[in-house]
Amino acid sequence: MTTTPTPEPAMVKETPGPTTGKKSASRAAREGLTSKTASGVSLVIALLWTLPTFGLLVSSFRPEREAKGNGWWNAFTDPNFTLDNYREVLGGEGDASLVTFLVNSIVITIPGVLIPITLATLAAYAFAWMKFKGRDVLFVAMFALQIVPIQVTLIPLLSLYTSPPFNLRPLAGRDAPAGGLYELWLSHAIFAMPLAIFLLHNFMREIPGELIESARVDGAGHVEIFTKIMLPLMAPAIAAFGIFQFLWVWNDLLVALVFSGPDVAPLTVKLVNLVGQRGEDWHLLSAGAFVSLVIPLAVFLGLQRYFVRGLLAGSVKG
Amino acid sequence: MRSRNIRHATIAAMAATGLVLAGCASDTSTSETNTAEGTSPGEGVEGCEDLTQFGDLSGTEVNVYTSIIEPESDAHKASYEKFTECTGAEVAYEGSNQFETQLIVRVRGGNAPDIAYVPQPGLLGTLVDTGSVVPAPEPTAENVDEFWGEDWKNYGSVDDTFYAAPLGANVKSFVWYSPKMFEKEGYEVPETWDEMLELSDEIAQKGDMKPWCAGIESGEGTGWVLTDWLEDALLRDVGPETYDQWVNHEIPFDDPQVVESLDRVGGILKNSDYVNGGHGDVNSIATTTFQDGGLPIIDGNCALHRQASFYAAQWPEGTDVSENGDVFAFYLPVTNEDNGRPVLGGGEFTVAFDDRPEVQAFQTYLSSDVWANEKAEATPGGGWVSANTGLDIELLGSPIDRLSAETFQDPEAVFRFDGSDLMPSAVGAGSFWKEMTSWITGDDSEDALQNIEESWPN
């Protein structure tokens, strides 16, 4: 049942050879889709787009005085590089080092991605393939929740965490369990759910009904259909949304500022404070930024093939 | 896609309500003092006398939320060791440069810290309005009566209730200069505003450098440097009482006296013979960052730069900041001898959101001379000062801090808080900054002040 659709570029090569006088299909496609100007323009855009990041990278290796004194491009005419900035942000113990916060970020991000994806996949299946009363109304209501800006929800949510109804245990405040990690995970899950359900529902809906029908004829129940048909087919879509959610949670500052206690503050909170009381330490930011960039970059590079596939996940052949 | 990036919410005072200065300090009410059982671990230890009354607080924790971040926060944390030694309670410190906005969110969400260091009295007013702030305990009030002037206590009080004890402070009424250059050229530190202008003329005529340099660019806070200039000039021209009326909007923002003071500032900053040393012409003031504003002094391109004591952090490493060094500061001279020696400045206040014994003990500790001296010793590199008169000036780490402390402890000194921190945020963190920026780029004084007057919320 692993009919994961993969485009097969090798297939097109079987078209008739050049002797026919007609252009081969692959050449036609190539010519139709590419042009020198377009390639040139996209190259320029890509260069311009990468330039600031490159400048940041160069700056992160420059000594404080030079980084503050002149632009990063001067590093080429007057090369003077140092690892001091990295040493300063990574060195030290406990609160002083970015490493502590890097660990916090990982601890926050992994459940912050897994929880909403698990729940959203289940919910999306129910919305897509189970018939129950009020399904459409519920789905529209769910979808409409995307419009609510998260800034509006911060204070009400926080007061819900600090003084929950029905004598539930408070998740925030002085005696927050796990230093406030639960409220962070929960908040990230809450904020991610509407979009996650909506996207995964749309992907799931694209899977041909015949597949489900035939599985049902073979005697499969919802659980079996979900685990044996949906999950393998949805893997690329789930991975694609996983990347999105990972980047959101990893780069999130607002939720972390509002809900995290000092013990579980993620990297972003530390990065903001890295500039120093009056902005005097901003040269450290470039090094800090690169430390925080490494993990999302690795995740993205590792999963990017799913990313493209996930966007095409609906197009099942046959 | 959802927008997850934090909106750079107004960093400065979210204070919607202007603070009304409390009338008489001695009548202010305070909290009852709560104590724990047992014998305090600080019994008999020197310096713990204030704290033993709170009992044995071992195993408890006080959490503190502040706007003071690294590297300055390290010295703060070190200064709490004495408290732990005296009471047994631990202190959990959290600093954030998003403090002003996040504190309001946390307080409204029911997740207030035990103690917050509030840098604006206007914000204190807003916090008190939420009903979460508890008045300071009696021992804290006693410390403040003993070690601070009444002006400071009033800034920590709202409607005759004393909430917040002052903590650190900074002097804004400073002019930075180069003592080495002054000595070489034979210039004297001016004692009056007119002498300062004569000196400026002398430097300008000589032609080596422009006498003044300034920079007001500060991101969304661009313009605050000029509000300090105007406040300093006004405080000198009209005296503290009229200044308070102006801050509280009891006289119009564009009162003729204010126009006069702004013109006095313009006499320096809009004078193309005087500015902008090392940066360009008058217009370059608006585009130069406040961090870079005074740096031409080191390069010998500028002689004078009016900026607060905290500008000391901006000099590059290796600069000798002392009486006879590369740079130092003098007190911005007075314009009117009748108004004493007004000092414009800022500072933090400790606001408590809980009255557990350990919180009260900590608030008391922070208001004591013991803490001020501990903090001074924990900051050997300088960059911290308090208006606490129990502070031993000799313990301060740097010459400029000692000058600041001397300025505060001068019996003739009349302290006034930076007015823009006390005004409603629409003005103090809005139109005042914007109009001052337009003013330096060409608007005349009447128009600029009138625009601010019109923006004052009803």
Q: Which domains does chain A have, with CATH numbers?
A: 23-88 (no CATH), 94-311 (1.10.3720.10)
Element (H, E) at A198: helix A181-206
A273 with B71: Cβ contact below 8 A: no
Task: Give residue B389's identity as a one-letter amino acid code.
Answer: T
pLDDT in tens, chain B (458 residues): 343 333 333 333 333 333 333 333 444 667 777 777 777 777 777 778 778 888 888 888 898 999 888 777 888 888 898 888 888 888 988 888 888 888 888 898 888 899 999 888 888 888 888 888 999 998 898 889 888 888 888 888 888 889 999 998 889 999 999 999 999 989 999 999 999 999 999 999 988 889 999 999 887 788 889 999 999 999 999 999 999 999 989 999 999 999 999 999 999 999 989 988 888 888 889 988 888 888 899 888 899 999 998 888 888 878 888 888 999 999 999 998 888 889 999 888 999 999 888 899 999 999 988 898 888 888 887 888 888 888 888 888 888 899 999 888 888 888 899 998 888 878 888 889 999 999 999 888 999 999 999 998 87
Q: What is the pLDDT of residue A269?
A: 86
Nearest chain B CA: its distance from A146 CA (Å)? 8
d(CA A13, CA A5): 19
Q: How far apart are CA B211 and CA B200, in angstroms?
A: 5
Interface membership of B6 toward A (CB under 8 Å): yes
Question: Measured between CB atoms, which of B5, B72, B93 is closest to A277?
Answer: B72
**What pLDDT does residue B242 have?**
93
Question: Please, are residues A156 and A205 in contact by the beta-carbon 8 Å criterion?
Answer: no
Q: How far is B7 from chain A (nearest CA, A)?
A: 9
Q: In Å, what is the CA distance from B156 to each residue of B159, B162, B224?
A: 10, 6, 23
Cβ–Cβ gap A162/B68 under 8 Å: no
Q: How far apart are CA B216 and CA B436, in angstroms?
A: 10
Question: In B248-343, which residue ranges form alpha helices assigned H by DSSP?
Answer: 256-269, 284-287, 296-299
Listed residue (B92, B84, B90) closest to B42, CA to CA: B84
Q: What residues have CB less than 8 Å from A89, skipping those under 6 apart?
A: A97, A98, A274, A284, A287, A288, A291
Which of A65, A146, A162 is nearest residue B111 as measured by Cβ atoms? A162
Nearest-CB residue to A273 (from B6, B69, B105): B69
Type and span of the H or E element at A22: none
Pairing assessment for the beta strands B341-352 and B161-162 based on DSSP bridges: unpaired
Interface contact B313, partner A, CB < 8 A? yes
Contacts of A150 in chain B (CB under 8 A): 2, 4
pLDDT attached to residue B14: 36
pTM of the full predicted structure? 0.77
Pairing of strands B341-352, B413-417: parallel
Any B CB within 8 A of A281 CB: yes
pLDDT at A249: 92
Q: What is the pLDDT of residue A121?
A: 93
For A149, other C-beta atoms within 10 Å of its C-beta total 11
- How many helices (H) and strands (E) chain A has is answered by 15, 0
Q: How confident is the model at residue A76 (pLDDT cuts 50, 70, 90)?
A: confident
Higher pLDDT, A24 or A256: A256
Least confident among A31-35, A202-206, B190-194, B416-420:
A31-35
Under an 8 A CB cutoff, do B313 and A277 touch? Answer: yes
- In this prediction, residue A311 has a pLDDT band, given cuts at 50, 70 and 90, of low
Residue among A98, A261, A262, A274 nearest B71 (CA): A274
Beta strand pairing status for B302-306 and B174-177? antiparallel
Closest-CA distance of chain B to residue A139, Å: 18
My answer on whether omega of the bond before A156 falls inside 30° of 0, hence cis, is no
Q: Is the pLDDT of residue A71 over 80?
A: no
Backbone CA torsion sign across B186, B190, B193, B195: negative
Q: How far apart are CA A129 and CA A222, in angstroms?
A: 9
pLDDT of residue B212: 93
Evaluate whether ipTM surpasses 0.85: no
**A30, amino acid identity:** R
Side-chain-side CA neighbours of residue A242 (13 Å): 23
d(CA B287, CA B293): 10
Name the 3-class secondary structure at B230: helix
- Distance in angstroms (rounded) separating the CA atoms of residues B361 and B55: 9
Q: Where do the H-state alpha helices sit in B314-389?
A: 357-366, 369-378
Six-digit token string for B434: 């914007």
Window 30-89 of B: residues touching A by CB (8 A cutoff) are: 63, 68-72
Nearest to B108 among A155, A276, A281 (CB): A155
3-class SS at B277?
coil
Output the pLDDT for position B25. 40
CA distance B451 to chain A (A): 30
Do B193 and B333 form a contact (C-beta atoms < 8 A)?
Answer: yes
Neighbours of B224 (CB within 10 A): 21
| B110–A173 CB contact, under 8 Å | yes
Helices B256-269 and B432-440 meet at what angle, rounded to 10? Answer: 50
Interchain contact A272–B (C-beta under 8 A): yes
| pLDDT over 60 (residue A52) | yes
Omega of the bond prior to B276 within 30 degrees of 0, cis? yes
Rounded distance between C-alpha atoms, residue B204 and residue B303, angstroms? 10
CB A312, CB A5: distance < 8 Å:
yes
Question: Rounded CA gap, B352 and B127, in Å?
Answer: 10
Does pLDDT of A18 surpass 80? no
The residue of chain B with its CA nearest to that of A263 is B94
Residue A108 CA to residue A104 CA, distance in Å, equals: 6
Do the strands B90-95 and B328-331 form a parallel or antiparallel pair, or are they unpaired?
unpaired
How many CA atoms does the CB half-sphere of A313 hold within 13 Å?
25
Domains and CATH numbers, chain B: 37-171+344-419 (3.40.190.10), 174-343+421-455 (3.40.190.10)
Q: Are the C-beta atoms of residues A251 and A268 closer than 8 Å to each other? A: yes
* Confidence tier at A304 by pLDDT (50, 70, 90): confident
Helices (H), B148-216: 150-155, 179-185, 193-206
pLDDT of residue B236: 92
pLDDT tops 70 at residue A20: no
